[in-house]
Chains A and B, each alone.
Chain A
């Protein structure tokens, strides 16, 4: 199996920036995904990284370092609707393995 670690919980203030880290150990790495999941809802796709570097998409950015087995998701200009769980998922041997998720709470 894969070993994927991310913090359990994070809290931040509206308008601030939060960085969610994800470390992984895997063989046959073929990309890393970030998903957002609001409570009681389905996960939805946020970003995909397969090469090293930063991918920016509006208020959300994702970074990957394959040599370090490390990724982060950066959420800027936090809004109340960003309160959700954020799932790091590693593609290995064409199957996704998910971390347990990081619950982000945005306070006014």
Chain B
């Protein structure tokens, strides 16, 4: 049973508009959440993270929102750019259980010029 789920395999948005990528989790022990971005033929690269003591973290065009009661987080990209086209993975960790990440299945974002 997947503990971290990204229910949208793909998302297409117009350049300049907002991209919203969603992620749900089931393990209430997760206390740290991350988003990674992956281009074809490359490894994932860290994008942004949020601790469970916060509900929002912002870094430039990227904002992550955490709703602990709903066990849901989202990544907002504003404004979206063609270079943002990639696969985005949500990941979570339970820092009391050790230094391990559990990943979602990924969402492929396509930003059209």
Interaction A to B: no
B residues adjacent to A (C-beta < 8 A) = none
